[in-house]
Amino acid sequence: VRGQETATSDLDIVVVTNELSSSYRESLIWQGWPVELFVHTPTGILDFFRDDCLRGRPSLPRMMAEGLPLKSHQTLDSLKATANRLLSAGPESWDEDTIDRKRYFLTDALDDFNGCTDRGEGLFIAGHLAELLHEFVLRTNGCWIGSSKWITRALREFDPEYALRFVDAFDSYYKHGEKRAVTTLVDQALS
């Protein structure tokens, strides 16, 4: 739908039905293509929307908003409108206590990163630091976060130039062991 498919992309299909007692997810292969089914009731899907939004990662609302309908139905129209409204509103703002707590975790990870002399440990500390940093920057700027490949997508949505600096900083560390650009990004975010 977004034109970002790869050779290993799966097909995500959201199924909404009244003939169900609880939501579930199922993986299968259809004509050689991996498929992820997200099966919900019309009211149950709203609970998942809420949970996704509370964690700041609106996976299901995004699927519903961006997806192409396979079958037209008024419930679908209503759910797409709700998903679009949630996405437009952005995540709930962090309070000062949450910001301070996230600041502490970010600072602690940065100290571990800068003090680390073991390459193996450094690789995983850097990955953890990247997740914490992207979350801190995006959430303090009222933006949705991502995970995995969605980290860079969420950063690009926020600011393409910042996303490039972010990727370059961590790439420099992974390729050359250079910590300065990562430290600078974290220091700037904390400021």
Sheet holding 24-30, edge to edge: 11-16, 33-40, 24-30
| Residue-wise pLDDT tens digits, 60-71 | 999 999 999 888
In this prediction, the residues of the chain whose per-residue pLDDT falls under 70 are: 2
- The predicted structure's pLDDT at residue 21: 85
pTM of structure:
0.88
| Residue-wise pLDDT tens digits, 71-100 | 888 889 999 999 999 999 999 999 999 999
Nearest to 154 by CA among 170, 130, 173, 177: 130
By the 8 A CB rule, do 14 and 63 touch?
Answer: yes
